Every structure is written in structure tokens, then in C-alpha cells.
Structure 1
Amino acid sequence: MRILFVDDEQMILDGIQRALFDSDWEIDTADSGQKALGLFADEPYDILVSDMRMPGIDGEELLSKIETSYPDTVRIVLSGQADQAAALRSSFISHRWLDKPFDRDALLHILSLIENALESMPSREMRTLICGISSLPSPPRVYAQIQTFIQQRADLEDVAKVISEDAALTTKVLQVTNSALFSRGGETTDVQAAVVRLGVEMVSEFVLFAETYFLATSSPFLNVDKVTKESFVISKMAAEVAETIDESLVSEAKLAGLLSDLGQGALLQAFPDKAQDYLDKIAYANEAEIEQIELEMFGLADAQIGAYLLLMWGFSAEIFNAVLIGRQYERSISSCSTLPIIIHIARHLARGRDIHEEVVSSLCIADKLPEWKEQAERLRA
């Protein structure tokens, strides 16, 4: 794996070289954005790690150019001096934000996770898909509603509620909040806590950038309203199931449920020429059939794409695992974690499908099923 570190402070670059000297990766450095672009022109890198404040071509401009010209490169910010507005803008063109001074073990861990994710991609085309997607589109009406709340100086609870009902906004809000710049209060999976941490002004700026970015990347094949509603039902049912099975997992279950269909939007954006054929084929298919169709058409299932996107964006291994294996009962029930099986149950409830008897008996939830089915039906309606 080839990694390029960019910083105008030579001491920082020397420290990185020392910290990673015994790794198996090819490490190069550049002390300016211009030199970095020259190195990319010679041979592209798998990962770019850049400072934000640099003379000439700064980090934001460099990240943007790399995103456009080399979309299969993973883009990471390593900075300690960027203002909040710059940090927010960078979140739409980078996958991770790491703080200075960097922690060697944390840096090694993150780079190893990314390496594992990239090595799992079956083709360069799929790598371009994974690295090139920063977010998914959201319906414009959601932004209008949030803007109205902000203008009326409504409670942050109201703003958080609107955001929490939208998978794309939830993903980006939590990605930004849990980045090194804002996570000093500890990692959170709660949208209201995230909105409180960011503040009204930051949320307002965030909505402005999100509206511009999400609409620019919208796919004509992606029924955003339909995806949003289905994700919301899965999230609600995941929380209900978690309250019965393991109350400590309610927050993670809501989040994993909301994001469990993340990869399908990515597939539609990446393969517009196959999108209509794909949608026709999966219209009446079950989870196992859908996965087989995706593997045959794209070489990768949407659950894998969604999970790896979340891993790139810094979400926990638990959320990654739940999204990756929560589709089919054979995988979810054999997991050492309870979260995937919760997501499996929630997805079936949300789509009005029967839950496998082995799942019902192993978790002793037969008495809860009628209530859950009624609630899911109400939410779908």
C-alpha cells in the first residue's frame, strides 16, 4: 500500500517517517500541495494524509483535486490548526480527520483498517466507488425543514429529530461529530448529543454545505423518499427489538438500522447504466436473492459497500459488522455480537417478512412478534 503524507512542517514529516519506518507500506512525503500533485502524477497513491493549513495549495484544495482526479484514493486530514468552517468543508472531501499531534498506534490502526477494506475490493472500479463516495443524497425538503427550525430558533431537539429520520444526514453529522476535531467529549451515536456538540451555528453551516453537496451527487435512480422512509422504519424497529433483547444496544441498533441500506444508494450512483436492470431484478427478491444478484452484476453486495463506507468514515467495528452481516439469519445468528441479529429482525419486520424460526426460538421472542409486527405495519403505513 502506498501512502503520501503532506505537511509544510518538515519536523512533522520526519516524525511520521520514524513512526512508520518498520511498516510494510511505501511511505512518501511532500512539504507542499504542489509537490504532492506532482508525485500523484508520477504514480497515484492508495492513501493521502494531508495537513489543512499550508501555503500555496492548502489541504482543502489538495483534497478536492485528488478527489476529482484520483477518486480511488482514500483521503485523510491530519491537522491541529484548522478552524471549524474549514474542518466542516473538508469533511465532504475526506474520509477521516486525525488530530495533531498524532498518536502512532491510532494512526497504525486506522491505516491497517483501511488497508483491509481496500484489499477486500474485488476490482479497481469498486475501489473507485468506495473511495469516491463521501455521502448519499437527502431529500431537499429535509433541509428546508431544518432551516425553518433554525430560523425560528427552535430547540436543538427538534433539529436533531429531523436529522435522525434521515440516513444521509445522520451519517454525515455523526461522522463530523466523531472526527478528532469534535470528539473530545467522547464518541457518540446519539444525534441530539451530536447536534448539541456542534452547536446551532455549526449545524446551520453544515446544512448549507450538505444541501449543495448531496444534491450534486443525487442519482436519478435513487428514490430518496422511499429509502429514507424504509431506513427510518428499520431504525425504529431495531430500537424496539434492542429494548427487549439488550437495552444497552438501543442507540447502536437505531444507528445501524438507519444505515443498513447505505450501500444500495452507492451502487445506484456508481453504476447508472445497470441501475434500472438491477432495480427490476431485486423488486420481488428476498435478502439472499438480492445479494446473489448484486454479486453477479457488480462483484460486490450492497451490504459490503455500505459497511466499508462506514468503516472508512470512522464508525465503530460493531456498526460495521451489523451492517455487513445483519441481512441473512445464518450469518447474523452465528455472530458473537447481538447487534447483527437485532438488525436482521428489524429489517424483516420493516419489510413485512417472516422471521426465521431459529431466530425466534433462540432469542425467545415469540410473544413479542405480534406487537412488533403491528408497530412495523403502522410505521410503514
Structure 2
Amino acid sequence: MKKKILLVDDEEQILKSLKRVFLKSDYEIFIAVDGMSALELLEKEKIDLIITDIRMPEMDGFQLLEAVKRNYPEVIRLVLSGFTDEKKIFQLIQNNLAKMYVRKPWNNDELLKNIHQVFELNHILTSHEMLKTIKYLEELPTFNSIYTKLCNLIDEEVNIREIEELLMKDPAIVASILRLVNSAFLNIKTASLKKAITYIGLTNVKNIALVASISYKSNLNIRLSKINELFSKHSLLTNQICSLIYSKFLFKEIPPDSSCIGLLNEIGRIVLLNNCPKEYEGVIAIAEKDQISLHEIEKGVFGVTHQEISGYLLNWWGLPYNLVEAILFHHVPLKENVINKELASVIHLADYYAAKLLNFPWGEKVNLEVFDFLNIKREVLEERIYKELQRE
């Protein structure tokens, strides 16, 4: 069955140009000249993906996307616009109103490629095997109320004092923030939560709080409890190495919507370990015996891998597309259907070296092509990682 795409723009010439892009594609195209017309069409047709402009009269793109997200959450949302307010664009992606932002003027081939890749990622996250595994799992992690309230405060742009007062109600979140700030890599020594928040920024605080606030009732034996803790340490170390690679080798900041990607990287493993401890203990035993990576065994045992579970959860929670994609494909970062290969490649290397630093007892592999793609010399990166993180 053909995928149905709805194009929304108040300029008819733009709509005509966009329709020509899809003439030879296998998509069924619908058009709307304003937000209200788009919503009326969504009531009649089962649309798979909507592409909208931002600046439109009466109902702008933000209002339209909010309505689509609320009433038709299964519809994939993209923006194609000349809108240039960076702060608003960041909020658009961070709040998951749109999976992707494409600037006008667009490249026809790139636009088609991106749409194809978005559909492919969505297919993986909604596949039969994925849904069967999710249904089999007894309990999925959820957020506590602190995280939800924090998101609201950040959106309201309140002062740091109010955020500090809220976070102080959850010792686990406070401990996680202070642990990151006082780590050897950041080398900022402070016991002040307010100073820590100021230093790492609200986006990092939000993502740290997300991980720390996840409630999970765990009943693991001693060995699996230690492995669970090892996965948590691996997440923190992975995040530190991601930051190191971006700042010291790519000479730029990590994308704001992915600034705590490493902390979220192990969610799938922790879910599988806590829901299926006996099965996962078997996965670990095989990986140790045959010296192969865990995700290779997970696929055979569960039908899905931990990174696919992570991608599903992050998508379900409404986190940005870049982050979901990079974690989902971090073992194959240069795969053709990956849009942001840079981010996926960085998390791939960070994941590998964090495992090495923690002496993971199963075989982890690194894709050597990633070094060339990022223009990084392997020996220089390794020397810097061990120098920066040897005190951890």
C-alpha cells in the first residue's frame, strides 16, 4: 500500500514545486493551503506523514503540529520552511513537534532520501518482532512526576532557583547531576546544585533527569545487579567520551538535542535485563564464552536488539529524531539509511571505548571506517581518551 504524504504551505507555487518532487515516487500526495484545511483532510484520510511550513496565516505551523501530535500521534511530522529562529527551531525538535527540520530552498534528492529514511526507521520501530517483544515485556520504565514538572518549568523559562527547588525533591536526580559535573572529565568540583545546573545547561539537566527519574522495580540476583550497575557506569562514560570527541576532535559542541545521548544508550539493555533476567543471563554467558558482542546474541534470543528497544522507548517518550536514529543505528553508523552519520559514528566510538575502559568481558567491535569518516586518527583518539579518563 502506498504511503500517504500531506504537504501544507500557504504558497501555491511551493506546493506545485513539491508535488513535482514526488511525481516519480511511490507516494500518494495530498495538499493543503492552510492549517485548518490540513486538519480537515486528516479527518478523512489516513495520512502517514505531514510536511508543513511554519509561517502561515491564521494557524501557523507550530499550532498545526501541536494539533496533529495531539489528535493524530501516529502521523510522522516534518517541517519544510525558511523560518530561521534557531531557538524556536530547537524547541520544535526538542518537544518532538517535528522529527526533522528541512530548510528552504530544499534539495529534491535529499528531501526524498530523508523521507525514505524516516519511513524506514519508523518501520523498524513498529515491526512485528518489535511489538511482539514489547508486549512480552512485563514492565516498561516510566517517568516519575519530577521529570514531567521539570519539562514544564523549562518550557515556561522560569529562573534556575525554581528548577533547583524542584530537583532537590529527588536525591537520585541531584546525585546524577553532581556526579557528572564532578567527574574527572569535566573536572568541576562543586557541591552546589545551582552551579552544576548553570555549568551543564538546562538541556543536559533535562536529559540527566530523564534517566535518573525512570522508575524500575528490579529484583535481580547479585551477579546481574553488578552487571546492571556496569551498564549504568557505561552510560556515563559513553556520554563523557561523546563530549570529548565533539569538543577535542570535531571542534564543535555536540548537538543540543543529543547532548546526553550516552546516558540514554543503555536503556534497552537495562529493560531487557530487568524484564528477562534468566534469558539475559544466558545472553551474557554465550557472549562471554564466544567473545562476541551482546547485541548479536540478543537478536537470536529476543528477536530484537537492545538498541532497537532503546530506539522504541526514546521514540515512544517523544525524544528528538536525531537521538533516536543515532542510538538505534550506533552499531552500524555508516549504514546508507542513516541521516546523521556523524552523531551515530560518535556514539559508536564512545560506546566501544567506554566498554574497553570498563573491561567488558564480551567481545565488542569497532568499525574502522568510522575513523576515516570522522577524520580522526585512531591512535590519537585512544591516547586522548585514556589520558582524560584514566582518573575515573
| TM-score of the two chains, using structure 1 as the length reference | 0.54
Structure 1 counterpart SS, 2:331: helix
5 Å-filtered alignment, 1:183-332, equals 207=202, 211=206, 219-221=214-216, 230-236=234-240, 259=261, 262=264, 264-265=266-267, 276-278=274-276, 282=280, 285=284, 288-289=293-294, 292-293=297-298, 299-304=303-308, 313-314=321-322, 323-325=330-332
Deviation at 1:266, TM superposition (A): 6.9
Please say if 1:101 is aligned against 2:105: yes
Partners of 2:49 and 2:78 within 8 A in 1: yes
Q: 1:210 and 1:259, CA in 2 relative to 1: closer, same or farther beyond 3 A?
A: closer
Q: Which amino acid aligns with 1:233?
A: L
Instruction: State the shift of 1:82 in Å.
Output: 5.6
TM-aligned CA deviation for residue 48 of structure 1: 1.3
Question: How far has the Cα of 1:260 moved from its partner?
Answer: 5.3
Residue aligning to 2:21: 19
The 3-state SS of whatever aligns with 2:47 is coil
Percent identity, please: 21
C-alpha offsets along residues 33-80 of structure 1, whole Å, 9 cap, x if unaligned?
222222222233222111112233321122122223333332111111
Q: Distance in 2 between matches of 1:125 and 1:234?
A: 28
Query: Displacement, 1:24?
Result: 1.5
Q: 1:364 to 1:226 in 2, by over 3 A?
A: closer
Number of residue pairs aligned between Structure 1 and Structure 2: 298
Q: Structure 2: any 5+ residue segments left out of the alignment?
A: 132-141, 165-176, 182-197, 219-228, 334-343, 367-376
- 1:6 aligned onto 2:19: no
RMSD of equivalent CA atoms: 6.0
Gaps of 5+ in 1: 128-135, 152-161, 167-202, 327-336
Q: How far apart are residue 105 of structure 1 and its match?
A: 2.3
Separation (CA, whole Å) in 2 of partners of 1:15 and 1:349: 51
Q: 2:355 maps to which residue?
A: 348
Residue by residue over 1:246-272, the C-alpha shift from the partner in whole angstroms, topping out at 9 and shown as x without a partner, is: x9679899999963564654798xx9x
> Aligned partners of 1:54, 1:3: CA distance in 2, in Å?
19
1:358: how far off? 9.2
Please tell me the residue identity of whatever aligns with 2:68.
I
* TM score, norm. by length of structure 2: 0.53
Instruction: Please report how far the alpha carbon of residue 108 of structure 1 lies from its aligned counterpart in structure 2 after TM superposition.
Output: 1.7
SS of the residue corresponding to residue 330 of structure 2 reads: helix
Write the deviation string for residues 276-306 of structure 1: whole angstroms up to 9, x where unpaired. Answer: 5247864794685566557755x53232355
Question: Residue type of the partner of 1:123?
Answer: S
Matched to 2:216, the amino acid is F
